Amino acid sequence: MKQLLFLFLSLSITYTSAESIQLDGTLSSGEWDEAVVFDLEYEVMPSRNTPSNLKTTAYVKYDEKYLYLGIKAYGDPEKIRATLKNRDQTWNEDYVALMADPFGDDRYGILIGVNALGVQLDEKHTSGSEPDDSWDILFRSSTAIQDDGYSAELIIPFSELQFPETEMQKWQLGFIRKSYQAGLQTVFASFKNLPAETCYACQADQEVLLGSPEKIYRNYVYPYIFLNQNGDRPVKDFKLQNPDYEIGVTGLYDLSKTSSIEYTVNPDFSQVESDVPMILANQTFAISYPEKRTFFIKGSELLKSDMQSVYTRSITNPLGAVKYIKQGKKNSTYILQATDSDSPYLAAGEYQSYKGNAGKSQVTVGRFKRNLGNKSHFGLIATNRDYQSGGSGSLVEFDSLINFLDDYVLDLNYARSNTQEGNVNYLDTEDTFAGRTYAMDGESFSGTAKNFRLRRAVDKSYAGIRFKDVSPTYRAHVGFVGRNDYKSRNYWYGRTFRSQGTVRKITFHWNNRNRLNYKG
């Protein structure tokens, strides 16, 4: 019988002051004395957890308001790949970043970093989902390229982060570096990579004591007024038309270290980045777009689900909204109430989606998530939409993610929807489904969706199965379900071979997917 001994070690960082760190990108002599030091000693891609062939050292300090990071990435400066782009657009270049789990319980992890030219990067990681780079915080940074590589300094306000309501903060920290020095993409880390874990930042394993940061409770109010007036001069007198104007306000108020309320009235989204153009020719199903509106981005990681029960872009033109978020010790809560003036109506089908504009509606979203530790959780999602023209739609989903036996991950989802149609028709079709019409004629029905996925990943191989069933009467009135009436069966297996030779990594992947209609 094997016996395993685990040793947990917490490192305490020496308190510093803002004056001791000069933000110039250069790690000056004495500036980072008595800091906690991280050596990025592992190559985690393309090799996995082999010794690093490039030296990288990171330093951490703190005071009441800020977390200070200094990172030195050694190498040939002529081989640095870096460009000046928009934020979060330089993932395929040389960069260094902090990986942190503020709650230390794997509910989510955060990445905060910069590329070699100082372009900022930040994203949030959760188990079972792709990293979310729509998460943005305010932090200061600077970089410098030197003869022996490049260095970076970052100053991160604690007020931009949520962390536990405890007197002594104990976070799990780590660092990564992406490099192209060897002519291929290579990632180094201060911690080992676990193949079964999809939340990469949650793998940061160095427990660090950060004292008692001063939590600055935010109370932001952002009013705006937009005026537009046109005029013309048909002959000689210049005549002004009546001015058009828009007035609105958005705000945020911190209730505690772990909870906040955000509100908005007639929000101005004119400055939001436009969507990337997509080719929609011959596309019979609806297309989803990423959320880029700041009000809806915060807390969006709590709403992620394989069933896509919540799609905040379905709140197209809100007249007003209020949102409450709390990240407790074990429980997380999200509540959203909004009034939408242009409500999209999406009815899924077996071969196409049906879309219309339902006008004004009241939207409610509720989320409860219980963290079980070991990167596992279960939770409930509830949504409701009441249409002013008549009718409503509600949904309840149970979801869970369970990690067990180190290498296995089990996803379970079960959702039930209820639809009550109005009598104002905004779907221009005579098609039918399950003995009912898509047209709005006062029908009521319910539907279900089920998802089962089991995955296993080890150092050299991975495998999984997934069963997903969606009934023809299932709809997500605040979510995104463009196709229903099917049963899907998916099986996959992959094997990876790694070496230190010319060919560093080869992966063979087999996949089998079968899709039948719901009746089979």
> What CATH number has the domain bearing residue 59?
2.60.40.1190
Query: What pLDDT does residue 4 have?
Result: 38
pLDDT of the residue at 243: 82
Identify the CA nearest to 398 among candidates 416, 376, 410, 385.
416
* 162 and 251 inside one domain: no
Query: Are residues 144 and 90 part of one domain?
Result: yes
16 shares its domain with 82? yes
Tell me the whole-structure pTM to 2 decimals. 0.88
Domain membership of residue 297 (yes or no) is yes
| Residue 2 domain-assigned (yes or no) | no
Q: Is residue 291 part of a domain?
A: yes
Do residues 510 and 390 share a domain? yes
**Domain termination site, one of 209, 227, 246:** 209
Same domain, 40 and 98: yes
Domain membership flag for residue 239: yes
Same domain, 173 and 248: no
Residue 162 counted as domain residue: yes
Residue ranges in the chain whose pLDDT is less than 70: 1-19, 271, 273
Within a domain: 4: no
User: In whole angstroms, how far apart are CA 502 and each of 10, 451, 461, 506?
Assistant: 40, 41, 21, 11
Q: Same domain, yes or no, for 188 and 238? A: no
Has residue 3 been placed in a domain?
no
For residues 145 and 240, membership in a common domain is answered with: no
Q: What is the CA radius of gyration of the chain?
A: 26
Q: How far is CA 27 from CA 57, 77, 319, in A?
A: 11, 17, 49
Pairing type for strands 231-232 and 219-228 reads unpaired
Element (H, E) at 514: strand 505-516
Kind and range of the H or E run holding 120: strand 120-125
Please name which of 263, 292, 306 lies closest in space to residue 476, comparing C-alpha atoms: 306
The Cβ-side half-sphere exposure at 477, using a 13 Å CA radius, reads: 30
Q: 266 and 122 in one domain?
A: no
Say what the pLDDT of residue 15 is. 60
Instruction: Tell me, yes or no, whether 250 and 171 share the same domain.
Output: no
| 233 and 129, same domain (yes or no) | no
Instruction: Evaluate whether residue 1 is within a structural domain.
Output: no
Supply the range of the domain harboring residue 61. Answer: 10-209
> Rounded to whole angstroms, how far apart are CA atoms 458 and 310?
32
The total of structural domains in the chain comes to 2
Query: Which residue do the tokens 């779907």 mark?
Result: 427
- Please tell me the distance from the alpha carbon of residue 488 to that of residue 466, in angstroms, as a whole number: 8
Among the listed residues 7, 181, 5, the one whose alpha carbon sits nearest the alpha carbon of residue 80: 181
List strand residue ranges (DSSP E) for 215-353, in order: 219-228, 231-232, 239-240, 244-254, 259-265, 318-327, 331-340, 344-347
Pairing of β 10-12 and β 206-209:
parallel
> Are 302 and 156 members of one domain?
no
